[in-house]
Chain A
Amino acid sequence: MTSVTRTPDQAAAVLAAVWSALGTVLDPELDEPLTHLGFVSHCLVTEEGEVRVRLRLPTYFCAPNFAYLMVADSYDAVVAVPGVTAVSVRLEDHFAADVINDGVARRSGFMGSFPGEAVNELDDLRADFLRRAVLAGTDRVCRAVIAGGVDRLSLTELTLGDAPEGADRERLRSRRRELGLPHGDSSPLVLDPATGEAVTDIRTHLGLARLTRVSQEANSGVCRGMLLGRYGLKEER
């Protein structure tokens, strides 16, 4: 990263690229981009290519493990954007903001950021939520398949490629890929997200998938509502 002075147009192009990079960063619990959730309160690119991002969360006490992941993932996403020379990501209005911000800036990891308070890095937590995202995504995709006239009991015979094309299918594919699960068009439409193996009890599996999606979306609803309340914002409908 070298310092280069840019024209306002070039800075604007970098800004757009930074915003789109932030759009790939997910709240691991809600499985939605920070930019959709309203968590990015501030994003600025200087003519020298320095990026300053500020993040905000629905409460002062949002779980610090998830907060840490979001700050660290934002840093990683933005630093990879061509034309960016320096990155600062700051979480604001949070009880652990200073510790998280400094830890991410120093690249010290979650355990290094909370010495004595954390005994594990957050990989397991992230994987657990990816498995939940696979289940929730299974509900979205299978609903569309069933609406197309397929009997639910025969879903076990279908492949991912048999599902209707679209954002939901690609989102499911991407979460499966991240978990190291089969994700090609010829892979099974439904599989056990913990083992990658075939699903035997499709009825229970679909029940759990629906429940997981309801839980995730209800939680997302609460978080959005809290954010609006906290910052006195109006909902975009």
Chain B
Amino acid sequence: MSVEAMIVEAMLVAASQVIAVVVLLVVAAYTVRHLFFAQHRLFSSPRMDYTDLAGFHLPSVSVLIPMHNEAAVAEDILEALAEADYPHDPDRLEVILVDDHSTDGTGAILDEYAGRYPWIKVIHRRGGRRGKAAALSYGTREARGEILVMFDADYVPGKSLLKFLVAPFADPEIGAVMGRVVPHNVGTSLLSRLLDLERAGGYQIGQQARYSLGLIAQYGGTAGGVRRSALEAAGGWDPHALTEDTDLTLRLAIRGWKIAYVNRAECYEEVPETWESRRLQIERWAVGHTDCLHRHLGALLRSPYLTRREKWDGAFLLGVYLTAPLIALGWAATAILFFQGSSYLPVWTPFFLASTCCNALGNFASFFEIGSSVLLDGTGRRVRLLPLNVANSLFSTATVTVALGKYYASRVGGRRLGWSKTERHRNGNGNGNGNGNGNGPANGNGGSYANGRGLNHIKARAAAQGSGGE
């Protein structure tokens, strides 16, 4: 071997060792965070300081629902809102439906409902910038409510969601409130079952623990509300944001507004049923979230309104998607060290033990989070699918790594990535991959839903799952 080759090999090995150790440290930090959250949530009383006000603090609310080609699901959410136990007095509740360049008959459905209920308003957008944030901006201008509550069209709010969700706004420091999202289409595919576990861990443990610990709970963009004055103080919706929810969370927190999480305010969601739609969803989240990291991390760390703990945890929250490429890098480094012969060295054994099995300890912490949520929810049987989430983790790691690769390439090239709408499957009417730039085909290909879907079916499923009865 030539001297140059030996130098290159030595440098490669040294770099791999550094990368491997850095990855392990980062994963270890997230491990500690997740383990702490899970233990805290399991054994400490959750913070539920506004629950008693539910039904007593009833501010004027504007519900905003952006809709782009949502004919398959539009009726369900409107029927659910009609059944909500919030006063349907037009001065107290208005529902603003923003028909955002729909081409599948969504507009006609919305008009029909507006004719039926005086508290429903419809805005048909046929020009201007497309996408959720732009539609929300438009709807916000029309809204008269003190509190804005946002839903994606495929969500079905529980009967008492609104009153639980707006109760924390009695506290003038609260800028936004987030409710718990529960999948209603569990059982339609293996993926939806796995995502049900993931959501349970994320909300029942992650969100509630962050809120209980006085850290930054995340406003999630749907099944959440924001105080109009807080939104205006934070600069309104950013039409360029791919994840307007994370963007708003950060802008509110940086300016000193508090964000509350209400585990009791449950909203039922249609999670992706196909791996392709899941891939698109993760890509959008990863890119949007990481974009927020670049835009807000500095301001977050400098904010005079946040404690050191909140800043640290906020940084962890923003950097969460970067762990995927880091883990991939860790695998590459581990492979290089294996072929170089380092596995044989006792000093590296603990490292290999921790990192080569896809960062087992770090991953186990997130599995522990899911297991803990199942214990709290009393939904034992479904947790048997937990081992399959290892495969789900691999899938997510690969998807996020590729998505962030594209994102950084686009940043270098000065381009902006587009927004892709999540596929809907309800009512036997998979409405295709409308890409958010309009013209999403309504292919009506039957999706994976059988007959008998719809609001009643969703409610029956939600009740059967034991997720917070009304």
A complexed with B = no
- A contact residues vs B (CB 8 Å cutoff): none
